[in-house]
Structure 1
């Protein structure tokens, strides 16, 4: 048995194994967080069999919540019965997903280095795979614009991170945000960010939010902010910093009916007011990669976090369900 002196010495050295109480799932940083989520709301795990779950998109016409398991090179759909079924296997290391103005699924593919649209018969139409005659880097996430255009981010993760695509040197000179017009055709909208990642629009469509994840590439001094762009017909003007993180990066984004921004972060989902002020956090056991609103009334927030997909019912609806 250890003597009292030994116990004290071990404690001083940090060697004791006393259990540490788990922190709360919900943390309020502002009184406004109570309008977002009830204090008794529970975060439920719907699926836990993935490697790196990403790109949640609520699509009832396709069977429920469509999501990507990027590193397993497949896509699944999670039905209301709780069953996860194969949607695409292989998926070209698919990542972000969104619905277009006609409700068709649009998917960013790392391995294909392209953005594709799923047609009614299950076939795929390529919307973008190059810019200025050169292959894209690795389309990451997408959002539907107010005029029916599809906007997407194009960092380099799918060509530099093993298991997320095919390793290659970037063909593009910058990591950009692109716009695919409703009639077709791709335009570069900005190259102001290091590694543009998550993307979402404000409810009125006048502001575009993009997370910059430059700090994720083993660069502690890299970008770790969410930026806001005023949406214009041509190339976007210089952005303003919407919110910053003291550690980690913000990945996928979504927006609710009141313009609050939800960001998938290393410690869960951070919620920011429309001004950028931090409102609170919904903690996850593993780093959150992406978020999406859905459910029967648009109030369910789905969270992809490592091997798992979680859900929590909120007091507010997602912007596209308002």
Structure 2
């Protein structure tokens, strides 16, 4: 598992390069729980692998595409970072792409701000629209996506891409809420877009626990409204895929949580304003 852990931390960290301020030199690992020592060397340094992005988002480890795929949202392109640290552009323009993930067949799924839709890239380059509307109205600006064990695509739909000038096209929301959605049988005639919860102000990153019984979602409402929420929330997932009521998994006192990853042991990695915060499955801060 060490390589997986390294890549998860790298993936979460990449999303911060363009979004955070430069931190002072010195120690970069804060240990809140001794269990962190089994995961990260407290003396580990940060190595910058790429620093030419305007607003890096949506890291996704995709060996079939050449390495770590990520969106440079404000630059309107999607790029890939190879093991040899070379970087190439996959898609330009990217429709202000943000979150990326892979389905079970290794196909890239991307949330596009500019078109306000979720799309899938086929092996021949064809782009299939998985979701662009709900209840007859356009989505806000899909932000991040994850694929469940049954192949359904889950995604968040805050308003960042229609309220931030460089992240999409300014527009009034057509949806009455910012929701988490699920697309069943994506890309087929039987596909259905379902609203799973509207409990969060601005849902952002999302990830499933290894057993699929918990869905973690970043509440990033405070980025637009200081009085709104800033926490990693958790929902129980029923046998039918329906969500239980939200509970606060990890409060965030500074900035807001953005991208989320979960490793094979169930630890949750949250990209936050002050770094990558890591939590045990029970919500204990590890560091």
Aligned residues of 1:211 and 1:252 also touching (Cα < 8 A): yes
Q: Report the equivalent of 2:201.
A: 194
* Counterparts of residues 229-268 of structure 1 (less than 5 Å): 229-232=235-238, 233=240, 235-268=242-275
Moved more, 84-93 or 32-41: 32-41
1:212 to 219, 225, 229: 219
Residue 226 of structure 1 pairs with residue 229 of structure 2? no
Residue 84 (structure 2) pairs with residue 67 (structure 1): no
For residues 175 and 30 of structure 1, the distance between their equivalents in structure 2, rounded to whole angstroms, comes to 35
Secondary structure of 1:32's partner?
helix
5+ residue gaps, structure 1, are: 1-19, 281-322
Q: Kindly indicate whether structure 1 or structure 2 has the higher relative contact order, using CA contacts under 8 Å at least 6 residues apart.
A: 1
Partners of 2:179 and 2:199 within 8 A in 1: yes
User: For 2:64, what is the secondary structure of its paired residue?
Assistant: helix
Higher mean C-alpha displacement, 192-201 vs 227-236: 227-236
- Offset of 1:22 from its aligned partner? 3.3
* Distance change in 2, residues 1:238/1:86 (3 Å): same
| RMSD between aligned residues | 1.3
Matched residue of 1:277: which SS? coil
Partner of 2:49, secondary structure, is strand
Gaps of 5+ in 2: 1-22
Correspondence for 2:14: none
Provide the C-alpha distance between the structure 1 equivalents of 2:84 and 2:286, rounded to a whole number of angstroms. Answer: 33
Structure with max Cα Rg: 1
> Match of 1:274?
281
Residue-by-residue CA offset, 1:105-151 (whole Å, 9 max, x unaligned): 00000001000000001110000000001000000001111211110
SS of the residue corresponding to residue 27 of structure 1 reads coil
> Is the 1:190–1:235 contact (alpha carbons within 8 Å) kept by the matching residues of 2?
no
TM-score w.r.t. the length of structure 1 is: 0.79
How many residues align? The count is 260
Q: Summarize deviations over 1:15-56 as a string: whole Å, max 9, x none.
A: xxxxx9634111101111112212233322111111000000
CA distance in 1, matches of 2:202, 2:24: 36
